[in-house]
Structure 1
Amino acid sequence: MPQQRLSQHELFSAAAESLARHGWELKRISQGIGYFSNANGRSPAGRLHVTEDAAIFWSHRGDADLGEPWVGTFKDGMLKFYAPERAFRQQRDVACPMVTASLLSETRVEHDFERIESIWSKLALKPAPAEHRHFVKGAPSPERALKNEGFGVCASGPYAGAVAVPMFQWEDGRARIGGIQMLLPAENQEFGTDKTMIRGSKLEKAFAIVPLIAADDVPNWFAQARDSKARVVLCEGVMTALAVHQSGAGLAVACFSSNNLVSVAKLLREQLPDNPIVIAADNDIALTRDGKLKSQAVLKACEAAREANAHVAFMGRSRPVGADARDIFTSEGPEAVRRWMDAAAAPEAVRERFEKLIEKRRTELGVER
């Protein structure tokens, strides 16, 4: 008889116990996120978040080194560790005194939209320079760089020079700013990433319309998209979405993380019942030495497409590991992005192709599934 799935409370407790065995001590919980410290520093650099399917852990210092059942993968410039819910089912009775269901998202605290919206309204933004890191990254020449279309950078303060992106949440027929992503002008050497979010941002279900629009304009954007019946392309990254837009491949939406693909794809389908939708999958086909997937992004894209009656654009071995639409744009030009979108296929076909590719890569590594 199959074991019953863990509740979010049980999964968080079991994951926290596992992290304790690896030297990470739980210090506090805020809005469903666990903050952990280890011997490398006084501040709680570790973060634990749980979903229905997995526990996710990362350290802003980049000093996490976890064994089974955790699998590490580089995502958005940061090493993150994932462990599936089923790996912790034998630990159902683990109890962490600090971990109570009331602190987790089974009983979510109300998100502080007013605070985030106030911060956004007070940002002193000026036009982002054409040579900003996030426009020119990977471009062999200025002609292949992305063009600034309405993006602004912070003129002063702790995020001076960073491109500010509003992270929308859809509630009761309108969009609200639930977070702000900062695309930094240079890689943060301490954290090893060139992206961050301001404190209190809500990542789950977040999305952005690219080029950027105001929250009040999102309902009208949906209405115009419905009328046009144009293709809509859902990407993970904001600059990936900008590359899709500037290639003319479709109306572009970003969801900030592969974990948001399903929820945002479903939102798009609810709002745009007749538009063709394509999920632009990052080419995350990397494996660990023992043949495990480093990222579930392609599988998440297929799941999102199934849920939203959409297609998936998947590269496979035709392009480098980790490549996305922006890489195609900078290396091959806008026509190549359009061709890639035109070649999008049903999720079942993409998953079959993906699984065959992964099995072939495992064979080449000499490992079994």
Structure 2
Amino acid sequence: MLTWVDAVVRACQQVGLEPPRHAEPGRWARCDVAGAGAAGRGDGSAYVFPDGAGAFVRNWRTGEDAVAFVDDDQPVTAQQRRERQRQIEQARRQAEAERQQRQEEAAARAAELWRSAAPAPADHGYLIKKGIQPHGLRVSSDGLLLVPLRDTTGKLWSLQTIGPGGTKRFLPGGRTQACYWSVGRPDGVVVLCEGVATAASIYESTGLATAAAMSSGNLLPVARALRDKLPDAELVVAADNDAATEGNPGLTAAVEAAKAVGARLAVPRWSDGRAGALDFNDLHRAEGAQAVRRLIEAAEAAADDGEALDRETILEAARQRLEPDIGDIMPIFPVEALGPLAGVCRAIAGGRQVEAAIVGSGLLSVAALLASAHWDVETIDGDRRPLSLFALTAAASGTGKDAADRITSAAVYRWQRQANEAYQQALRDHEAALGSRKKGEPPPEPPTAPHRLCSDMTVEGLRRAFAEGVACQGVFSTEAAAVLAGHGFSAEHRAKTAAALCGLWDRGHLSVLRAGQGRFERSGLRLSAHLAVQPAAVAEALHDPLLAQIGLWPRFLLAWPPMPKPRRHLIWRPEDDPHVRRWWMRCEDLLALPEPDGERIVLRLSDEARQVLADFFEACERRAARGGDLWDVRPFALRAAEQATRVAGVLTAIRGHAVVSMEDAHNGVALASYSLGCWQAALGRRQRDKAADHALALLRWLLDRPGARATSTEIIRQGPRALRSAEVRDAAVARLVETGVVQVRGGAVAVVGDSLSPLAAKTAKAAKSLDSQGFARGEDAAKDGESPAHHADPSPAVRHSSPAVRHAASPAPQGFSPDSPPSPVMDVANPAPLGDDRLEEWL
């Protein structure tokens, strides 16, 4: 039998910790980070629950938690589950209190070290190696460069030490998340990068205020903190191009941060086009300030060879500018109409900063999946219908689809993982029983697959899932473009797939004829679906004449939220939110119910609910008649009353009631009306700007060409057929130039990504000011076609120290950190370091 010691070991392994050398129930114990040596000593904690039932551990380096119980492989009662949740929450609160105490202690140590340190000399080994100025950094008594890490309020939380050879260490226990080092004064533009040397090189090359997040993993938290503090600033994320590392973590993190806060992206590249890893400091030392300045000015622009162009990102940018976001004209999602789900919807939407329509659509879909397993709902004419719902959410990348889905569906996925372990053991037992049965004995029945969620919508996939598994399942995907473009919706199969989905939604019936294997026929099935997809993919699918003729889309509830506002830095744990916990517990309760043996229970309509739904039905019938305001979405309007009834039934089931109330009938009408309004807005945009169509066609064609460019003659002769006239071509090119994704250079049209002309102007102005101070003298000294790196420098110490000397009479603009003036930090007349009273107001 497993013991709490085994639970500690298992939990530590999950978050990369070594088990503590000594632990006991009811106490915390220190752990080391696995494989980190002395640098990771004591950077983890383990807590054994007082009853010895399990353990909670935290990796302080990564912030990851893990929990393990000695009987994780055994079923638990609801009371045990609540007790364990209480223990976990208590341990998490204690860990949070310890974290805050560790950070405050580290902040006090950092402040003392910083006060006692001297200004860093310009000839420090690391500064010479990187070719940068001190910019307010300090040096400890043992020669380590000190880099202060502050939050946006200016509070000093930690330090990074850098040895002359480049060895870097953070202060143990210090806070680094959302903290950064900065140089320069913000003037409408702020650049964010990883390291100190990179930040200094960017600032010295451009004059733009620059912040160093200190690691790729901290780019996103710092970006959000800066966006929250400077909502109107132009942010540029300058990536480290870790091309030699699998997955290119520097570029990946930079892209994520830029997308999250609506920032531009600058990627360092060698001017001769050669491949290889580099950052902007490498580029600065090898090719000079002009090379850095050029790429920062053209942030998000690709090199001329077009290798780094992100096709989908560029197409989406052009599409949004040619066609304003349709989400802005959509109705407002009625959160309160979610009834028992409204509280958890608000909690997730606020905590994860996601549009309520995305969260609400996901919650309603999960609720329908769980409720339809056990109940049907009465219709206004006394018939019965499944509680299954199909939901379609149109939302662009970076809008939080995944983040919301992970929370709304968490309990189902957790249950499915646990059920799958038992199922795998049952399969092994079944195989053993098959192998040991005697001649003439009937084979044992195979176990039923417990899986409730999948992402496959092919007819064969559905047939197999229902043949082997339970009668109530769901298709949930946050990347549904792959579903709509996959095998099930190919030209050959989409009619069959759509017909099967319609049958499952209408009657819970699936009939599949397989060559040589007979017919699969099964009733009483329930399928719910939630497909989250890019708006462009939705637009293409909606205009498919075959799917429109079959009537698939009127069976979907559509949610189409507006583009989200820039997010703020916010720490929110869903497991700590009471609304989320109650939602998960309700899901677990419904999942624990046994599958019904016969017909499902019918949720009856109260007289008041029947009247509300009947009035809605008649109103939709009138408005969908010829000449009515819903005539253009007639198929959707004619199904709206049934959608409202199903939604009302789902909300009733979640409440645990047996009769649909008037309140939930009104809620169902409100949500069905919202969907109908979205369908009307989405389908009403068929009269599109022809020039915009031509511009997008030209852009797609250019992106498929080598170098992503073409001459005006090539466009006429080889381009899209619709652009084979000079007038149409010129109009399309003009529209693309307006969007900023192409430029006309020397008679050729070239895709450049997403141009930044306002930023380029600011960068040029700031760089000109810096040039006059001597920061880019090497650039001026270089001959045409030759970088400053080619010139011998007989006196590195002079080169690094002379620009750092400023006469006392020269005014120095304020920096955006008390430690990082925009110009050199040492004054000939007064070499004392800058004091904390120099803190900029915007921090």
Judge same fold: TM > 0.5, yes or no. yes
Instruction: Work out the CA distance in 1 between the residues paired with 2:309 and 2:101.
Output: 37
Among 28, 32, 35, which residue is 1:35 paired with? 32
Q: Which residue of 1 aligns with 2:164?
A: 185
Give the whole-Å Cα distance in 1 for the aligned partners of 2:286 and 2:200. Answer: 15
Greater strand content: 1
Structure 1 residues 310-335: Cα deviation after superposition (integer angstroms, max 9, x where no partner): 01112368466441111111111111
For residue 137 of structure 1, give the secondary structure of its aligned residue in structure 2: helix
Q: Partner letter of residue 128 of structure 1?
A: A
CA distance in 1 between counterparts of 2:170 and 2:39 reads 18
**Structure 1 position 27, deviation (Å):** 4.7
Residue 186 (structure 2) pairs with residue 233 (structure 1): no
Per-residue CA deviation, residues 286-314 of structure 1 (Å, 9 max, x unaligned), is 34xxxx52x53222211111111101112
Give, in angstroms, the shift of residue 343 of structure 1.
2.1
Change (3 A) 1:176 1:286: same
Q: Distance in 2 between matches of 1:312 and 1:118?
A: 36
Q: Which moved more, 1:276-285 or 1:202-211?
A: 202-211
Q: Is the 8 A contact 1:25 1:36 kept in 2?
A: no
Residue 111 of structure 1: how far off its partner (Å): 5.1
Q: Distance in 2 between matches of 1:353 and 1:48?
A: 42
Tell me the CA shift for residue 186 of structure 1: 3.0
1:200 match: secondary structure = coil
Alignment identity in percent?
27
Which of 266, 274, 296 is residue 313 of structure 1 equivalent to?
266
> Which of 179, 183, 201 is residue 174 of structure 2 equivalent to?
201
Hey, what's the Cα distance between the residues in 2 that align with 1:104 and 1:26? 16
Of residues 242, 245, 252 in structure 2, which corresponds to 1:299? 252
The amino acid across from 2:175 in the alignment is K
Provide the residue aligned with 1:334 in structure 2: 289
2-side partners of 1:125 and 1:314: how far apart?
35
**Aligned-pair Cα RMSD in Å:** 4.6
What is the distance in 2 between the residues matched to 1:275 and 1:309? Answer: 11
Please say if residues 128 and 153 of structure 1, whose CA atoms lie closer than 8 Å, have aligned partners that are also in contact.
Answer: yes
**Structure 2: how far apart are the matches of 1:33 and 1:329?**
43
Q: Deviations over 1:245-272 (max 9, x none)?
A: 1112521111111111111111222222
The separation in 2 between residues aligned to 1:207 and 1:42, in whole angstroms, is 25
Q: Indicate the residue corresponding to 2:12 in structure 1.
A: 16
Alpha-carbon distance in 2 for matches of 1:255, 1:43: 20
The residue identity in structure 2 corresponding to 1:274 is D
The answer for the alignment partner of 1:262 in structure 2 is 220
Aligned residue pair count: 267
Gap change, CA 1:243 and 1:353, over 3 Å in 2: farther
Map 1:66-85; keep pairs closer than 5 Å.
none
What is the rounded CA distance, in whole Å, between the counterparts of 2:196 and 2:234 in structure 1?
A: 20
> Does the 8 A contact of 1:134 with 1:239 survive in 2?
no
What are the residue-to-residue correspondences of 1:147-226 with 2, within 5 Å?
147-154=133-140, 156=141, 160-170=142-152, 174-186=153-165, 194-210=167-183, 225=186
TM-score (norm 1): 0.58
Q: Which amino acid aligns with 1:299?
A: T
For residues 158-190 of structure 1, give each alpha carbon's deviation from its aligned partner in whole angstroms, at most 9, with x where no partner exists.
Answer: xx11111111124xxx22111111111235xxx
TM-score w.r.t. length of structure 2:
0.28
Q: Which residue of 2 is the match for residue 78 of structure 1?
A: none
Aligned residue type for 2:127: F
Q: Deviations over 1:48-67 (max 9, x none)?
A: 69xxxxx9899xxxxxxxxx
Which residues of structure 1 form unaligned runs of 5+?
1-11, 50-54, 59-81, 139-144, 188-193, 212-220, 356-369
Secondary structure of 1:286's match? coil
Mapped to 1, the partners of 2:29 and 2:243 lie a distance apart of 30
- 3-state SS of 2:258 partner: helix
Question: Which structure has more RCO (C-alpha within 8 Å, separation ≥ 6)?
Answer: 2
Alignment partners' CA distance in 1, 2:276 and 2:43: 26
Q: Secondary structure at the match of 2:310?
A: helix
Give the match for residue 25 of structure 1: 19
| Deviation (angstroms), 1:346 | 7.9
SS state at 1:180 partner: strand
Structure (1/2) with the larger helix percentage: 2
Task: Say which SS state the counterpart of residue 282 (structure 1) adopts.
Answer: coil
Distance of 1:283 and 1:176 partners within structure 2: 31
Question: For structure 2, which runs of at least 5 residues remain unmatched after alignment?
Answer: 1-7, 46-57, 74-83, 314-843
